[in-house]
């Protein structure tokens, strides 16, 4: 006589049925068994099973919608709930590999990760808006928003920004200069805010001003930086890494 069935032996239909039944019980505050919903996640991630993903999306979409709408950043966002729901699931699909899935012992841990993905997409939205504000100081016409290609462009820009940061870092003489450049340009802080952030580094806000002026004066004289912002690339001799912003054309 066969023993109790291993939930891993159920078909996707069987899992969908049980996951729905158990979820209904959970939301009506009844005892429930989470193993079937967890098995759906396991198959989706470890077996790259698209049908399992679709079942998960159908089953958990309404729950994720509720999480989006309860997030403190959502009311100020100018996108519909569904936009963030879709991005959150996409984040999860992309982020959890079979190897990483070994960190998830149960359904609760997987759903906690999905909650984190909801937060992640809302913060991404805010970060992108802040980045756009910073870029508005620049000539945005050189950075067309062309859908899918824009994703690649963002990745490329990120790499180029990191390259510039390393290039600048090599030209800073001490920790105070490093803190000033980091605070002023990476954190976009005013000198007073910068001093408040790093009070142990400076002897007052006036010192922040003075260090910043010295660094800026030196950077303005730097041929490599001049070339970067006029032609879009460093001198070959200045920087072994080919170029920064090659695709941005003439400045």
Partner 1 sequence: MTDLEDRLTAVLYRVTCPDTIELGEYRLGITSESQESGPRKAFIEQHLLGCPYCSRELAQLDSFMAQVQSDLDYTPVERVKIWIARRVPDLTAGVGSSTPAFAFRGSDGEDDPGQSLVFEAGDAQLMIEIQDDVEGAGRKSLVGLIIGIDPEGLSAQLWLDGQPVATANIDDLGNFTFSNLGSGHHELILSGPDVEIHVQKLLT
Which residues, in sequence order, are CB contacts of 219 under 8 Å at separation 6+? 168, 171, 225
> Hey, which residues between 36 and 75 contact partner 1 (CB under 8 A)?
51, 55, 63, 66-67, 70-73
Query: Which of 78-86, 146-154, 157-165, 233-241 is the region at the interface with partner 1 (rule: CB under 8 A)?
Result: 157-165
In sequence order, which residues have a C-beta less than 8 Å from that of residue 5 and are 6 or more positions away? none
Long-range contacts formed by 135-143: CB under 8 A, 24+ apart:
142/248, 142/249, 143/248
Among 219, 224, 231, 233, binds partner 1 (CB under 8 A): 219
DSSP classification of residue 241: S
Which position among 24, 79, 80, 138 is part of the footprint of partner 1 (CB under 8 A)? 138
In angstroms, what is the minimal distance from the CB of 25 to partner 1?
Answer: 8
What's the sign of the alpha-carbon dihedral 243, 244, 245, 250? negative
User: Which of residues 31, 78, 170, 200 is near partner 1 by CB under 8 A?
Assistant: 31
What's the CA gap between 245 and 251, in Å, rounded?
A: 10
- Three-class SS state of 136: coil
Q: How far is the CB of 109 from partner 1 (least distance, A)?
A: 8
What are phi and psi for residue 48, nearest 5 degrees? 50, 45
For 114, the token pair is 């999905």
Binding flag, residue 116, partner 1 (CB under 8 A): yes
**Site for partner 1 contains 205 (CB under 8 A):** no
Distance CA 176, CA 211 (A): 7
**Site for partner 1 contains 165 (CB under 8 A):** yes
Query: Which range binds partner 1 by CB under 8 A, 76-84, 146-154, 158-166, 235-243?
Result: 158-166
Question: Smallest distance from the beta carbon of 235 to partner 1, in angstroms?
Answer: 18
Which of 48, 62, 76, 95 is close enough to bind partner 1 by CB under 8 A?
A: 95
Q: Is 238 in the site for partner 1 (CB under 8 A)?
A: no
Which of 44, 56, 85, 118 binds partner 1 (CB under 8 A)? It is: 118
Please say which residue, 83 or 198, places its beta carbon nearer to partner 1: 198
Kindly list the distances between the CA atom of residue 223 and the CA atoms of 153, 211, 219, in Å, as whole numbers in the listed order.
Answer: 26, 20, 8
90 contributes a contact to partner 1 by CB under 8 A: no
Q: Using the rule CB under 8 A, is 28 a contact of partner 1? A: no
Query: Shortest gap between Cβ of 122 and partner 1 (angstroms)?
Result: 9
Which tokens go with 47?
A: 């077996």
What angle is formed at CA 95 by the lines to CA 91 and CA 100, rounded to 5 degrees? 150
135 binds partner 1 (CB under 8 A): yes
Residues in the chain: 251
């Amino acid at each position: 006589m066969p023993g109790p069935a291993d939930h891993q032996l159920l078909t996707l239909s069987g899992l969908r049925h049980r996951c729905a039944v158990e979820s209904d019980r959970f939301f009506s505050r009844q005892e429930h068994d989470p193993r079937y919903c967890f098995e759906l996640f396991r198959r989706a991630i470890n077996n790259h099973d698209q049908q399992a993903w679709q079942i998960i999306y159908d089953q958990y979409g309404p729950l994720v919608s509720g999480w989006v709408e309860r997030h403190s950043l959502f009311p100020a966002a100018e996108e519909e709930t569904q936009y963030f729901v879709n991005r959150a699931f996409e984040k999860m699909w992309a982020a959890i590999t079979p190897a990483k899935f070994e960190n998830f012992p149960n359904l609760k841990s997987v759903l906690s990760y999905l909650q984190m993905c909801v937060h992640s997409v809302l913060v991404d939205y805010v970060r992108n808006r802040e980045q756009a504000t910073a870029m508005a100081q620049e000539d945005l016409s050189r950075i067309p928003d062309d859908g899918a290609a824009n994703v690649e462009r963002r990745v490329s820009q990120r790499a180029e920004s990191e390259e510039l940061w390393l290039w600048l870092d090599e030209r800073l003489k001490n920790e105070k200069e490093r803190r000033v450049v980091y605070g002023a340009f990476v954190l976009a802080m005013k000198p007073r805010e910068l001093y408040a952030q790093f009070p142990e580094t400076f002897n007052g806000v006036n010192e922040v001003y003075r260090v910043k002026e010295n660094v800026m004066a030196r950077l303005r004289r730097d041929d490599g930086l001049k070339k970067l912002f006029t032609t879009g690339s460093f001198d070959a001799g200045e920087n072994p890494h080919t170029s920064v912003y090659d695709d941005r054309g003439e400045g």
